[in-house]
Structure 1
Amino acid sequence: MRTESGNQEIFDKLVYVSRCVKVVKGGRKFSFSAIVVSGDGKGKIGIGLGKAAEVMDAREKAVHLARKQMIRIPLRDGRTLHHDITASYCSGKVIMRSAPSGTGVIAGGAVRSLLEVLGIQDVVVKSVGTSNPHNMLKAAMKGLKQIKSPRYIAQKRGKKVGEIVGKREHGLKVTIKSDAAPLDGFDTSEITTE
């Protein structure tokens, strides 16, 4: 479901609906709970859980809560994660790895919906342990909150972004000759890759 909030477009995705039955004197009483993920497809994401006597009411509550709890996640090139993550919540454990362009979203269950709404296009995810959507989503969110962008790390260490990013490109070992020019204006002929 798409909706315009201010000037940005927000996507809502219903992940899971569960039904609870309470047996009372007059018969059976039903209640429903719904999990919804909301995001703008550009790095903002939120999870909401709503409970009500009707499915639509539970969904509306979940959407409201998800939008209220949205947080910003830094993405690499607007398509993948900056680094690999392992996170767990209760019995749910999620391993997320960044992937090269063209890989697509390789994930299952509730985590796939979360990553699609977030705006990630290339990622590999493995869920270990429970398949309970509550725990899987919370583990994924816990992991996504741990992501640090190179700009943030460079600022914390007092270095330039090029010094941090240059080491991770394509997983190659890069050696720069000691008499080479500084990283700002380096010459590619001075660099050898293995």
Structure 2
Amino acid sequence: MAATPAAAIASPLSSFTIRSPIPSLSFFFPKPSKFFSLRRSFHSLSFASKASYIDTSFLDDLNSGEDIVFDPPTPPERFIPPPSFDDGPDEAEDEIAAAYEELYGPAYSGVSVLGNDVYVMDSKVKRTSAFGKVKKEKARDGFDERVVQVRRVTKVVKGGKQLHFRAIVVVGDKQGRVGYLTFPHRSEGDYGAAMVMLRPAAPGTGVIAGGAVRIVLEMAGVENALGKQLGSKNALNNARAAVVAVQKMKQFQEVAEERGIPMEELWK
């Protein structure tokens, strides 16, 4: 009677099997359908190595420590060797400068050896900025320019507002002959509501003026002068008034010729 329960428990366990949750390796590595022989593959590799064999027996008699003397071939008939670079005469400095100017243009000294226009040749040279764009060089005509004032001008039209810019620029060559580095006498000029007063100054004073008057005098080449703006503060009218005041000035010789007297009489 005691063996009956044990047999009853063992009977269902006889058909029970324990399986692992991890699949077998045969799932990842399937069985090969064909088998190959390692002996046959080894014979094929040895045959390929024999086919790539290169004969180097001619290098056995070569001595690595011995210097090999180069034996050039005989030159053909009527062969004339070219002259050596060092055998020719030395070039003169003018010839070197002329050759340099033909390739790169005139040197920084500003003197053309070939007699060309330095400013025209310099303008043909393309200069690039850091980003590779070609810089627009201003014309080398000997004139300098200074900006006096830049203002925005807005015009109301039917479609809206139009924005423009007005720039007042003074241009000069700094070689204007107005007296001897200063004005010969006092002068005043007016344009519209603006009025400018100019006075001569002693050497070393410099240009004492402000606004547009100072820029006009510097562009004219004046080194010692006094200037003052009277009336309107308009920059454009003050610049025009300064030009009018300079144009009114006359040299002592011109005044003597107009009066019909010798120049010495003006100093009495």
Under TM normalisation by the shorter chain, which class is it?
0.5 to 0.7
* Structure 2: unaligned runs, 5 residues or longer: 1-136
Aligned to 1:126: 228
TM-score, length-scaled by structure 1:
0.61
Q: Supply the distance in 1 between the matched residues of 2:138 and 2:156 (Cα, whole angstroms).
A: 37
Q: For the aligned residues, what is the CA RMSD? A: 2.1
Q: Quick one: which amino acid aligns to residue 223 of structure 2?
A: Q
Q: Supply the distance in 1 between the matched residues of 2:138 and 2:249 (Cα, whole angstroms).
A: 27
* 1:162 CA drift (Å): 3.7
Aligned to 1:152: 254
Q: Quick one: which amino acid aligns to residue 148 of structure 1?
A: K
Larger strand share, 1 or 2: 1
Q: Supply the distance in 1 between the matched residues of 2:179 and 2:264 (Cα, whole angstroms).
A: 14
The higher relative CO (CA closer than 8 Å, separation ≥ 6) is in: 1
Structure index of larger Rg: 2
Inter-CA distance 3–163: structure 2 relative to 1 (3 Å threshold): farther
Q: Quick one: which amino acid aligns to residue 227 of structure 2?
A: V
70, 76, 83: which one aligns with 2:179: 76
Matched, 1:140 2:242: yes
CA contact (8 A) 1:80 1:123 kept: yes
Aligned to 2:216: 114
Identity of aligned residues (%): 37
Q: Quick one: which amino acid aligns to residue 81 of structure 1?
A: F
TM-score, length-scaled by structure 2:
0.45
149, 168, 181: which one aligns with 1:16: 149
Q: Supply the distance in 1 between the matched residues of 2:138 and 2:185 (Cα, whole angstroms).
A: 30
* 1:163 CA drift (Å): 3.4
Q: Supply the distance in 1 between the matched residues of 2:155 and 2:178 (Cα, whole angstroms).
A: 44
**CA deviation profile, 1:108-163 (whole Å, cap 9, x unmatched):** 00110000000001111111121111111111111111111112112222333343
Off by >6 Å, runs of 4+ in structure 1 = none
CA contact (8 A) 1:81 1:98 kept: yes
CA contact (8 A) 1:92 1:136 kept: yes
Aligned to 1:35: 168
SS of 1:4's partner is coil
